[in-house]
Structure 1
Amino acid sequence: MRTTSWRSFAAATVGLIAGVNAQTGQLTDLGTLLSGQKNLTTFYGLIQIDLQKYPQILLQLPSFNGVTILAPNNDAFDKIPYSSLNNAFKNNDQDVITNVLEYHILQGTRLAAQLVPGTPVFIPTLLTSPEYTNVTGGQNVQNVEQAGDVVVFVSGLGSRSTLTQKDLSFNGGVVQVIDSLLIPPANLTDTLNAFNYTAFEGGLYASDLVETFTTQPNVTIFAPADSAFQALGPAIANMTSDELATILDYTILPKIVYSTGLTNGTKFLTQQGENITILHSGNNVYVNSAQLIQADILIANGVLHVIDNVLNPQGPGAQPNPQLATQVPAFASASSIDFLPYTSAIPCTVSCPVSSTSGSSSITRTSSVGAQSTGASTGTSTTSHSSSSSKGLAAAMARETGFGAAGLMVALGGAVLMI
């Protein structure tokens, strides 16, 4: 058991990398740059620890033809005790800390001055471990300049870090100082839970598509909001598992397409086999007749976009009516209901009912924390795909990670809520 705190370890190793890769050129080396910034002493200490255990991370940086290091300032680390990152840092879990730090190193030199206001860019990082990401070439971070010359970096679960000090050059790239730690993207089900899109999540369980949607690499998913499922009512709630699977396969693309790639008139081939069409009207973006209402939520295996309608593969030519605030359902037999279809298909992992007799319909599940699994590890369940009207119960369900890094997403998954 580790008894040395990460802060003490960091303080004891100050000075280790001052002069690493030092050159005689005009720019200073990374160690000298970081050691000269009083607001980066904590990050500087962590980099030194990282160099001791995994020296290749920093020593190989020149091979990337320049990097951008997103350096959390001291205030960012002071927020850790109030977040789910606390245990990893308190216990000096160097595996978790190292992978988090790798997510703070962007491939290529990225200057804030080069950003086009309002246009996001998605930048690959050095986080490539399959235990933490399923995106080819390194998990991505979103970078965008907003109104008022505010530059933000968006990471997992929509976590936002604001740039506080920009374009500090060293001889291997540039350092950008941020006010909060980045959170590596969580898997799909944890992300859906965090954003409370539980009807779509329940549909994945009911159609046996959870594993496919969470483990397939490099995907784009158009998830209908809960209200979209409620608007369909019996038109979707009474579907068989196979029929529902066909509908949901029409929401996934076997490639990553961020919002910047959703250009007017573009068609994309879905996993179901039919095309979807991207249409623009003013500032609104539509997928067939469904309006895009939330874009670019990073997930472990790609990107998630949220739409206001359930897509119908039998009507790929559906057109939006830009005059309507909410689009008409793409299913002729739709009728609104006041409960969420499929949420009871989500396996229970928290405050679960106790199963009684063999004829009981109760569900008993335990979470598969730390296991490479997309479902519950033990217990029994019914085969019914009935619906629940309790959003609170649904939000408490299905906390499985889908990763094997000793519960990494348990340590990181909720951090965005506090950081």
Structure 2
Amino acid sequence: MIKTFLRTLAASALIVTASAGATMAQDAAMSNEMPMVGGAPMDPQKTIPENASQADNLTTLVAAVKAAGLVETLSGEGPFTVFAPTNAAFEKLPAGTVETLLKPENKDQLTKILTYHVVPAEATSAAAMQMISDDGGEHNVTTVEGGTITLKMDGDKLVIIDESGGGATVTQADVMQSNGVVHVIDTVLMPK
């Protein structure tokens, strides 16, 4: 009876070990399939804010989204296309701009800038490039803020022109999320 119990226990241990090994292998395979942003895997089953909060190069954007009270909105069903400026993009702004925008009294202005980076639809880079081609070289898009951004190509790079005439280049496209897609950009877009 004890031998039978020990054999059953040993068999159970092998099953648990094999199961744990399979789970670790699945986790490793999944992390290999997930795009990395700022050193962190972006899980397509998570929302835009959940993933962005893991990326080391999007900490300023995450702080701004929190200050503007947009976490819940961007965690919603969507779909959204977010043009996500990196920390380096925010650093290009004049000195003190980010600090000023993060103050509670400037929440409306911050919200306006952030929602200017969001389109209320899911548009992959392939879809954007097709729209640009179909429209003869540029395609205008209305943002959640209500303003317009213009999508164009610069060689093989997707660029976004804001209403102020500034431009941003997509440095990492098609980071799929459960509620949309993120395109990482190198410059903060500014509405009028």
2:140 to 264, 267, 270: 267
Deviations 1:42-98 (A, max 9, x none): 9xxxxxxxxxxxxxxxxxxxxxxxxxxxxxxxxxx8463378x59xxxxxxxxxxxx
| Distance in structure 2 (CA, Å) of the matches to 1:237 and 1:192 | 20
What are the equivalent positions in structure 2 for 1:10-49 lying under 5 Å apart? none
Give how far 1:235 is off.
Answer: 2.7
1:195 corresponding residue in structure 2: 55
Tell me, yes or no, if structure 1 residue 283 matches structure 2 residue 156: yes
Tell me, yes or no, if structure 1 residue 311 matches structure 2 residue 184: no
Code of the aligned partner of 1:251: H
SS of residue in 1 equivalent to 2:89: helix
Code of the aligned partner of 2:79: N
Code of the aligned partner of 2:147: E
> Identity of paired residues, percent?
27
Deviations 1:239-281 (A, max 9, x none): 2111100000001111000010122301111000011101112
| Distance in structure 1 (CA, Å) of the matches to 2:97 and 2:150 | 23
Give how far 1:237 is off.
Answer: 2.5
| Distance in structure 2 (CA, Å) of the matches to 1:184 and 1:259 | 16
Tell me, yes or no, if structure 1 residue 241 matches structure 2 residue 118: no
Structure 1: runs of 5+ lacking an equivalent: 12-41, 43-76, 87-103, 105-153, 160-182, 315-419
Higher helix share: 2
User: Which has the larger Rg?
Assistant: 1
Tell me, yes or no, if structure 1 residue 81 matches structure 2 residue 24: yes
SS of residue in 2 equivalent to 1:215: coil
Runs ≥4 residues deviating over 3 A: 77-83
What are the equivalent positions in structure 2 for 1:106-255 lying under 5 Å apart? 157-158=34-35, 184-196=44-56, 197-232=58-93, 233-239=95-101, 240-255=106-121
SS of residue in 2 equivalent to 1:190: helix
Structure 2: runs of 5+ lacking an equivalent: 1-10, 37-42, 133-137, 162-166
Distance change (3 Å), C-alpha of 1:78 and 1:8: closer
- Contact 1:204 1:248 (8 Å CA) reproduced: yes
- Contact 2:172 2:185 (8 Å CA) reproduced: yes
Question: Normalising to structure 1: TM-score of the pair?
Answer: 0.34
| Distance in structure 2 (CA, Å) of the matches to 1:199 and 1:261 | 28
Code of the aligned partner of 1:158: P
1:293 to 149, 168, 171: 171
SS of residue in 1 equivalent to 2:113: helix
- Contact 1:207 1:244 (8 Å CA) reproduced: yes
Deviations 1:216-253 (A, max 9, x none): 42111001011111111323321211110000000111
Question: Normalising to structure 2: TM-score of the pair?
Answer: 0.70
- Contact 1:253 1:268 (8 Å CA) reproduced: yes
Give how far 1:8 is off.
Answer: 4.2
Structural RMSD (CA): 3.3
SS of residue in 2 equivalent to 1:256: coil
Deviations 1:109-141 (A, max 9, x none): xxxxxxxxxxxxxxxxxxxxxxxxxxxxxxxxx
Deviations 1:286-338 (A, max 9, x none): 11110110101111211011111111011xxxxxxxxxxxxxxxxxxxxxxxx
Code of the aligned partner of 2:107: S
SS of residue in 2 equivalent to 1:257: coil
| Distance in structure 2 (CA, Å) of the matches to 1:202 and 1:244 | 11
The alignment covers a number of residue pairs equal to 157
